[in-house]
Structure 1
């Protein structure tokens, strides 16, 4: 359209330019493009003209002569931006993982939702194709460069969950690139992508050696090697214990650790009976001394790993051996080893003490 100057002369419904000097300039770029950096090329010439293109229409007898070309191509730069996404724990909404899980190395696919092909890193992609895959760092953040994605609509879809997490809860997020050099920030709680931590349970049976008597009311401490969080479970009348909600609701006297009916739950989220009590982690299982296992040697602490979701780890039968009775024997001899010692003013008696039933590695105190 005409910006300034004489009115166009119309002939056969078409605008006819008058004689004189003309300038051609792009004043507004179309949606998705930048005016800054635009250039024109006249006809088949390779010269790039930035700003105004000046031409003239002169009279040559009965003819009007145009200096230069009457065909132009205009090239505009595409608006480009980027995106940044945050991974969070579904239960806690936190950017820190539970247990020994991690938010690092989550894989996100960026998918084009545009009807026209888009150019990303020198390659054209059609609608619904993955244009880029990005991965999270230790903080659970993944980001592109500020000029990776062209103007348009895109979707982020999680393609691979981090260690310790399920893809459950990970919903796609749509976003739009509209400003040049701007990274679309999707790190707030409303736009982050969430994952469910893997959870499991343990169970076992406690008996005494010899008679294989089932030991009731024996406490076991369960401790997370990562966080140090620990809770106690107690055996029932049959010597059985479990952290499963089918055994005792996680919500019933949560972590009281007094009876076999008290529920167990690790983590800061609200107890949920549809999930296991123990998040993805390594745990130390330790039998505690009580009246029920008096006279028995406690089993040494051991470790278990919760790495599969909704799996109840069967610890089997945990057997306490009877404590060994410690006996003491003394033998008095002369310094020559004779058992018969003659009376005298000064004599030397060697008293040899022998202890049976001691356990290697255990400290004892002997008092005379």
Structure 2
């Protein structure tokens, strides 16, 4: 039997070669012409169709079942319907030429999805494999169909082969793999036919490649996104919808280059982004597009400009006074003028980029304003690289990491050693992200102390229980301190704790504390400022020249200013003293920049040998900035008052009214002069730098911390703290000026 089969194979091979030589040219034209009918759909009109042979006896096929069981053999031909190639779907049935008609797929009783997959595999064999457009391709596709359908139809012909093409059977597996990978790129149409009188069922397969819809995205602002790991064009998802509907038919997902492709049947579609890639805003545009068979179309006919997300930083950083917790400086210090380095690093870090070896892409130096604030704007920029800007040209920060560190503290404060890290992370669908957390820095003001020894000049006797008033030149805050039995006084906590009877001013052991916040024995009593030391008259120094207006500057932290020995000499007969204290109607040393503002000046004077019983006090308002009289409507502001006196002392309160409109931020100084009844000048106070005579016209942000507090005004600590915070209590500073000889 085997010898007979081998002999038959040799004969068939010889016959096949002759047939090929004669009919190859015609066969190629027929097969190619019919298999390349890709420009029109199958005609689905009802009616009869012509079933015929395109070419007979093109191969000898052996039908073999499991284990090589012989199921028969045949001379196989190329079949056709209306001149188009079709495949035999029943190997054991006879093909009937002549009239035929379409029959529905369900009559074949095999899943349509299986038939379409096999149809795509036959397309590969006949149109794309090395045997494309040949008899070999057709025969191999026919055998592949029978072998694949055998388990479903019960034919037991899974080992069928054609003698001439045995060596080409690996194409079956190639076809399966190709169809599995490319099934989404092609549309498969199937149609079954059968002769009018019955007989073999045939199947026509037509395949068209879908149209290609491509998408390409790129950053609209590459200066923000290039080489920045916080941004990626990969992972954008665009939904493809049937035009005018919400029916999702496909999804485009971009790769790392920002490109995506999907294959679609011919038609009109609408494309809209459903998910933005990392670091970018969602594209809300709906793009209409028309796809045609086997053609490529680029969405929007150009690259889509992807808008990166960015941080619209409002307040970049804010400094507050550590002791008060408020954005208001103490003493003579200022929160303005601090310098900060702001550095931007692309991407994200576990902690501080500086410690992790990161390299900043851009850096800037910014300065703080008088409120201790800094913004990422030109007016705050001292130096640095170009600012990042959005499409509206507003300064912004890209997504990534920012470090902020102080490189120069403001005047009167200690440098801050911290490095503040902020991660700018994308969020939501919009371009602008507002998740930045303002860097808040608590600045420690410089604090120091002063000390001295009080003695009598003529005897070098140390003078105990002598009272001094210490006044802040910036705020007017004043407290009193007494010398001990050795004439020594000191504001340092190591001498007398600040927390012991703070600012009571009744005995030498009472503590001193200037400024806001709670008194601490670990810091100096005096914030950065210039202070005025005035000796107050008492029993111990009666009849002596009092030390007045001694200016002391506290500018180094935890350091004491050594005043040395402060001596008293006897007061000459001709000395005349004036003591003044100015304050607004609210009790503070300030007024509002408005009309009809009133303030008072309390004037006390003392002089030996005042013969008259009445004196004239003349007060005038001066502008400190110009060292000239204040004029309102072309007139100087002057107040006069006659005062009756008894003995060597007298006092009076002078009231002034001004239109302070346009004077915001100005300092007004009150000059006082005292004359006897004959008009002779007895004494005057005309010091522009005297804080006791100074009234400030308020800026909009309000008064400074601790303004106008005086030791001894109250006896209860809780009330004293309240008054310090509100600035409601003022004190007198005694000022000595040269006497005027009669």
Task: With the length of structure 1 as denominator, give the TM-score of the two structures.
Answer: 0.71
Match of 1:213 in 2: 461
Larger radius of gyration: 2
1:74/1:241 CA distance change after superposition, 3 Å: same
Match of 1:144 in 2: 376
**Contact 1:116–1:127, Cα closer than 8 Å, also in 2:** no
Unmatched 5+ stretches in structure 1: 1-6, 39-49, 59-64, 118-125, 329-358
Aligned counterparts of 2:402 and 2:475: Cα–Cα separation in 1 = 39
Answer yes or no: is 1:227 the counterpart of 2:475: yes
CA positional deviation for 1:306: 1.1
Of 116, 131, 142, the match for 2:363: 131
For the aligned residue pairs, the C-alpha RMSD in angstroms reads: 3.5
Deviation larger for 81-90 or 245-254: 81-90
1:152/1:224 CA distance change after superposition, 3 Å: same
Q: How does 1:305-320 map to 2 (within 5 A)?
A: 305-320=553-568
Deviations 1:81-132 (A, max 9, x none): 1332211111111011111211112223333454479xxxxxxxx9352633
Of 435, 442, 451, the match for 1:194: 442
Deviation larger for 300-309 or 215-224: 300-309
Aligned counterparts of 1:68 and 1:314: Cα–Cα separation in 2 = 83
Aligned counterparts of 1:203 and 1:277: Cα–Cα separation in 2 = 11
Deviation larger for 194-203 or 289-298: 289-298
CA positional deviation for 1:218: 0.6
Task: Please give the secondary structure, in 1, of the residue aligned with 2:540.
Answer: helix
Deviations 1:173-228 (A, max 9, x none): 534242533454545xxx51111001110001111112111111111100011111
Match of 1:283 in 2: 531
Match of 1:108 in 2: 340
Task: Please give the secondary structure, in 2, of the residue aligned with 1:11.
Answer: helix
Match of 2:552 in 1: 304
Of 174, 178, 201, the match for 1:11: 178
1:320/1:33 CA distance change after superposition, 3 Å: same
CA positional deviation for 1:293: 0.9
Task: Please give the secondary structure, in 1, of the residue aligned with 2:463.
Answer: coil
Task: Please give the secondary structure, in 2, of the residue aligned with 1:36.
Answer: coil
**Contact 1:80–1:147, Cα closer than 8 Å, also in 2:** no
Aligned counterparts of 2:464 and 2:536: Cα–Cα separation in 1 = 13
Match of 1:33 in 2: 280
Aligned counterparts of 2:376 and 2:435: Cα–Cα separation in 1 = 10
**Contact 2:212–2:297, Cα closer than 8 Å, also in 1:** no
**Contact 2:346–2:399, Cα closer than 8 Å, also in 1:** no
Aligned counterparts of 1:279 and 1:131: Cα–Cα separation in 2 = 34
Match of 2:156 in 1: none
Aligned counterparts of 1:151 and 1:192: Cα–Cα separation in 2 = 21
1:106/1:183 CA distance change after superposition, 3 Å: farther
Match of 2:145 in 1: none
1:36/1:237 CA distance change after superposition, 3 Å: same
1:283/1:133 CA distance change after superposition, 3 Å: same
Q: Which has the higher contact order (CA 8 A, sep 6+)?
A: 1
CA positional deviation for 1:157: 2.3
Q: How does 1:1-368 map to 2 (within 5 A)?
A: 11=178, 14-15=181-182, 17-18=185-186, 19-25=209-215, 26=238, 27=273, 28-36=275-283, 51=287, 56-58=292-294, 66=296, 75-83=305-313, 84=315, 85-112=317-344, 114-115=346-347, 127-129=358-360, 131-144=363-376, 147-168=395-416, 170=418, 172-179=420-427, 180-184=431-435, 186-187=437-438, 192-324=440-572, 361-362=738-739
Aligned counterparts of 1:310 and 1:300: Cα–Cα separation in 2 = 26
Match of 2:582 in 1: none
Task: With the length of structure 2 as denominator, give the TM-score of the two structures.
Answer: 0.37
1:128/1:169 CA distance change after superposition, 3 Å: same
1:128/1:235 CA distance change after superposition, 3 Å: farther
User: What is the count of residue pairs matched by the alignment?
Assistant: 300
Aligned counterparts of 1:255 and 1:154: Cα–Cα separation in 2 = 45
Match of 2:629 in 1: none
Q: Answer 1 or 2: which has greater helix percent.
A: 2
Match of 1:340 in 2: none
CA positional deviation for 1:283: 0.9
**Contact 1:91–1:269, Cα closer than 8 Å, also in 2:** yes
Match of 2:85 in 1: none
